[in-house]
Amino acid sequence: MSTITLPNNPGTIQNTQVTDATKVMENFTAIVSEVNGNIDAVNLGALAVETAKIAALAVTAAKLATDAVETLKIKDANVTLAKMAVNSVDSDQYVDGSIDKVHLAADIIDGTKIGDDVLDSEHYVAGSIDAEHLASDAVETAKIKNLNVTLAKMAVGSIALSKTGIKIGNSTRSTAGDQIITGVGFRPSVVIFLARNALATATDFSWGFDSGTVHMCTMQADDGDRNSYDYTKSIYIRQSVGNTLEGEITAIGADGFTITWALTGTIDLSFIYLCLP
């Protein structure tokens, strides 16, 4: 059996012979382990600190290295709203198609969030587009269905014949050729004529309509020989056999029209015209 001799120093085991060195070391280790704070990092073996040796709540932020907490270390469903920094989630964090209407706040989608030309009729609830949601001047003629503007839809006083929408005038004629009428103020679509023989005692008259392409009139001759219609002229005055003056519109412009006259014999007439847009 081996023996060791311990030094005779104050505060140590007294000098004596110990016949079992192993026993001495075991006792020495036990004594040292009882001394608070005596075990430092140097005295710890590799992998010596296990989970059971770590006190609850003892691993603080100061003990964690930067980037030490990885995805695998986070328990499922444990990243709560309180753990997330303000503005920490952006579009890259959302799974495609994961934002449903339940997670959209009311009235959150405005015009800036809707792309151009991405909404069609299937996205509107029937009857959901009211006057409040129509922009000014949004309804054009092409958007109005034929025969759907009824009297009930028209405001009182919305239809008026202004001085720019109607023109009444008069003139005279006694020769053949073209007569240009100007000063109408618009391009007429229809002209109505009332004409009579210029003689004070004459009763010859005609009443005609002219669109520039269609010319018609009804007339009465003073000699009683002709009371009829003419489907090629809009003015026709017959004073007597061999004395007639007839005309029709052959051109329409932005400010008036042209009457082309045909004369047989001698006759003077006067006429009134009504131009409609």
The predicted-structure confidence for 101-157, as pLDDT tens digits, reads as follows 888 888 888 878 888 888 787 788 887 888 888 888 888 888 888 888 887 887 876
Q: Tell me, yes or no, whether 211 lies in a domain.
A: yes
Residues 209/192, Cβ–Cβ less than 8 Å: yes
Q: Is 72 helix (H, G, I), strand (E, B) or coil?
A: helix
How far is the C-alpha of 84 from the C-alpha of 40, rounded, in Å?
Answer: 37
Q: What percent of the chain has pLDDT over 70?
A: 79
Q: What percent of the chain has pLDDT over 90?
A: 30
Residues 269/196, Cβ–Cβ less than 8 Å: yes
How far is the C-alpha of 227 from the C-alpha of 250, rounded, in Å?
Answer: 25
Residues 248/235, Cβ–Cβ less than 8 Å: yes
Q: What is the CATH number of the domain that holds 200?
A: 2.60.40
Q: Tell me, yes or no, whether 261 lies in a domain.
A: yes
Q: Tell me, yes or no, whether 181 lies in a domain.
A: yes
Please report the pLDDT score of residue 264 as a whole number.
Answer: 95
The total number of structural domains in the chain stands at: 1
Q: Tell me, yes or no, whether 206 lies in a domain.
A: yes
Of 242, 224, 225, 245, give the one whose Cα is nearest residue 234.
245
| Owning domain of residue 196 | 167-276
Q: Per-residue pLDDT for 2 more than 80? A: no
β-pairing, 235-240 vs 243-253, is antiparallel
Q: Tell me, yes or no, whether 125 lies in a domain.
A: no
Q: Tell me, yes or no, whether 40 lies in a domain.
A: no
Q: Tell me, yes or no, whether 178 lies in a domain.
A: yes
Q: Tell me, yes or no, whether 22 lies in a domain.
A: no
For residue 20, name the pLDDT band (cuts at 50, 70, 90). low
Q: Is 98 helix (H, G, I), strand (E, B) or coil?
A: coil
